Structure 1
Amino acid sequence: MKLSQILSQLLVEYADRPLPLSVLLNQVGSSGFGTISGILTMPMLIPLPIPLAGFSTLVGSGIIMAGCQLALGYEKPYLPQRIARIELSPAASQKILKNINRLLQPLERMSRHRFSRFSNSWWGSRITGVCLAWDALLMSLPLPIPLTNLIPAYTILFLAIGLLEFDGLFILIGYGMTMVTTIFFASIAGTIWQLASHWLQVLIKS
Structure 2
Amino acid sequence: MTSFARVFTDRVRTSELLEGYAVHLRGERVALGTLVALLGKRSFGLLLLLFALPNLVPLPPGSSTVFGLPLLLLCAQMMYGRSLPWLPGWLLKKSIPRSSFDSMLARTLPWLRRIERWLQPRLTQCTGRCAERLLGGWCAVQAIVLALPIPLANFPPALCIVLIALGMLERDGVLVIAGSLIGLISLGIALTVGYGLVQGLLLIGQA
TM-score (normalised: structure 1): 0.72
Q: CA deviation at 1:149?
A: 1.5
Relative distance call for 1:130 and 1:142 in structure 2 (3 A) is same
Uncovered stretches (5+) of structure 2, i.e. residues with no partner: 1-11, 21-29, 97-102
Corresponding residue of 1:13:
none
Between stretches 53-62 and 28-37, larger displacement belongs to 53-62
Q: CA deviation at 1:84?
A: 5.8
Alpha-carbon separation, structure 2, partners of 1:178 and 1:8: 32
Corresponding residue of 2:99:
none
Q: Deviations over 1:15-49 (max 9, x none)?
A: xxxx9866753454220110110112222223355
Corresponding residue of 2:83:
75
Amino acid at match of 2:126: F
Relative distance call for 1:166 and 1:99 in structure 2 (3 A) is closer
Alpha-carbon separation, structure 1, partners of 2:41 and 2:80: 14
Alpha-carbon separation, structure 2, partners of 1:24 and 1:59: 20
Alpha-carbon separation, structure 2, partners of 1:74 and 1:111: 25
Aligned counterpart for 2:119 among listed residues 88, 101, 111: 111
Aligned counterpart for 1:126 among listed residues 112, 133, 141: 133
Alignment RMSD, CA only? 3.6
1:29-178 matched pairs, under 5 angstroms: 29-47=40-58, 54-81=62-89, 102=111, 106-120=114-128, 122-143=129-150, 145-146=151-152, 148-178=153-183
Alpha-carbon separation, structure 2, partners of 1:29 and 1:41: 19
Alpha-carbon separation, structure 1, partners of 2:86 and 2:158: 20
Q: Deviations over 1:28-86 (max 9, x none)?
A: 4220110110112222223355xxx8443232121111111111111101122576689
Relative distance call for 1:48 and 1:56 in structure 2 (3 A) is closer
Amino acid at match of 1:140: A
Amino acid at match of 2:169: L
Q: CA deviation at 1:194?
A: 1.5
Q: How many residues are matched?
A: 185
Q: CA deviation at 1:128?
A: 0.7
> Share of identical aligned residues, percent?
24
Q: CA deviation at 1:172?
A: 0.9
Contact 1:28 1:77 in 2 (8 A): no
Uncovered stretches (5+) of structure 1, i.e. residues with no partner: 10-18, 89-93
Amino acid at match of 1:126: R
Alpha-carbon separation, structure 1, partners of 2:135 and 2:164: 7
TM-score (normalised: structure 2): 0.71
Relative distance call for 1:64 and 1:26 in structure 2 (3 A) is same
